Structure 1
């Protein structure tokens, strides 16, 4: 598997990123969860790249570097590390990640990715993937969120408020019970996407916990993860035409 580390110039500085896969495939961006880039995310990007995509995994927290590293299975059990992670999430706003996405898309193009791009986010990355799709409708053709939080919250940067700008196909998967994306938010997101005539699916993974799809989370669920891969690869294959 071809893997290369790059540095992306953004409006606010330089973001480290890793690219997986041969040049020339359709592009995909993986928006990380709260624990940052690490081997667990790399393994997911490698699997996506093996399906024919040129995959970019950027460090969304680059403005606060250096930080971590964090062990996804134990970091929240340590009060100091938990506080660090919550700080990183708070100061790295949705709008920052949306601005950064312009540079991410350009970096993918420079790496030889052709055609429209697919985006996928996990945990905090879920909302960023949907907001990116709204901000770059001519460049992002598929957007997926897995156990993303705050997808239809009261916040002004909640993705459901930008549904009218989305032209991508959307897939949203929620944990069975997840306080960060409760049933009322799911209903609000569904209404916003339907009213905006966005091609979408919202699916509830009953019995799975927040973080189930990521291999180094302590709540990782192998069966649920494979279901996630089936849905994600189908979305990208049908939309990006691998």
Structure 2
């Protein structure tokens, strides 16, 4: 695995991140960069494997720890973390204590880290679960630095909160892909309708695809609801989306 552990200085401290670099022997004129925003269980082997898969496609990939403000934690076991009282309480506190605005501010430093690693030009972002909304928020915050934003089983993309991603649609210049779980309480049909309306009114170049039969978390291999067929479909979509936009 071509992973390098790095520290990224932010206005609130130091975020640890995994940086995945393609084989230098692989011919490439441009090595585009991608930020992979974690799900609620934090950086771990499952996400490293996903980042490596993107890296093998020729991308420089950064997986930052969005919960760095809380110090050392975990590792969490994805299938059971929310079923155990202690870990569930800790996870909810970290999720609630890491706002969209915090991640948006941190993303400026994440993008700088990609630039330091050799990325030249706008980057792509992709997020899973809580990371899905962060990816869309980042695209709105840095329209000239992010060219492609993807969300898979992202939650609360069109909620009634003032920082809901759909409210920032007018600021998005990136192409956007949203892969929604077929049944997902964190992104129900009425939210999907609000999201589509906001993005259409703002004339964003976007696709929202419904993965029928998939549950929230289906893309990530250590989730209890992981679905290999659905995950491979997500990889095909993501490869095409990033390939058309970033390469």
TM-score, length-normalised on structure 2? 0.96
Match of 1:132 among 129, 133, 138: 138
Match of 1:226 among 213, 227, 232: 232
Distance 1:107 1:20 in 2: 12
Task: Note the 1:1-242 alignment, pairs <5 A.
Answer: 1-22=1-22, 25-241=31-247
1:21-42 Cα deviation digits (max 9, x unpaired): 2376100000000000000000
Distance 1:18 1:111 in 2: 12
Distance 2:231 2:168 in 1: 28
Distance 1:145 1:28 in 2: 13
Name 2:27's counterpart in structure 1.
none
Instruction: Structure 1: state its 5+ residue gaps.
Output: none
1:85-135 Cα deviation digits (max 9, x unpaired): 111100000000000000000000001112210000000000000000000
Instruction: Structure 2: state its 5+ residue gaps.
Output: 25-29
Shift, 1:76, TM fit: 1.4
Shift, 1:83, TM fit: 1.0
Name the SS for the 1:120 alignment partner: strand
Name the SS for the 2:214 alignment partner: coil
Name the SS for the 1:85 alignment partner: helix
Distance 2:95 2:88 in 1: 11
Shift, 1:151, TM fit: 0.2
Distance 1:237 1:2 in 2: 21
Count of aligned residue pairs for this structure pair? 241
Name the SS for the 1:17 alignment partner: strand
Distance 1:99 1:13 in 2: 12
Shift, 1:80, TM fit: 1.1
Shift, 1:2, TM fit: 2.0
Name the SS for the 1:41 alignment partner: helix
